[in-house]
Amino acid sequence: MTSKHPESLDLKPLAPYEDRLLNALAFFRTQRDNSTQARHCLSMYLRQSEARIMSEVGFYAQEVGLTGRELLELIYENPNQAQSLIQDKLGIDIFQVFPSEP
């Protein structure tokens, strides 16, 4: 199965403290470019948080009749369809649980 890639994320700048921490981490990693270091940090966080993230995915997957992997792929490929499925089955607008920033 091949995955359709969604649009790239457009991340806002870090808060000053986190920006300084990232710069320090990059400094001690042989002067890595900050964007490269940020990618590595995000990847590390996601790997360390996989169980927590997949637990949430798995909960909603079971509620809507999918496997965790199926819902994960649906979220990745078509988040609007995943939201509609959750809303139809559970009556929850997942996009309103944590509304977008203004």
Task: Report d(CA 13, CA 21) in Å as an integer.
Answer: 13
Query: What pLDDT is stored for residue 3 in this prediction?
Result: 61
For the residues 71-91, what does the mean pLDDT come to? 95
Summarize the confidence of residues 81-92 as an average pLDDT: 95
Query: Span 82-93, mean pLDDT?
Result: 94
Residue reference for tokens 């806002």 = 12
Written as one letter, the residue type at 28 is: F
What average pLDDT is seen over the chain? Answer: 87
Radius of gyration from C-alpha coordinates of the chain:
17
- Asked if residues 68 and 57 have their Cβ atoms less than 8 Å apart, the reply is yes
Please give the pLDDT value at position 19: 86
Region 75-92: mean pLDDT is 94
pLDDT recorded at residue 2: 56
For residue 88, is pLDDT > 70?
yes
Q: What is the pTM of this model?
A: 0.75
pLDDT single digits (tens) 13-60: 889 888 888 888 888 876 778 788 888 888 889 999 999 999 999 999
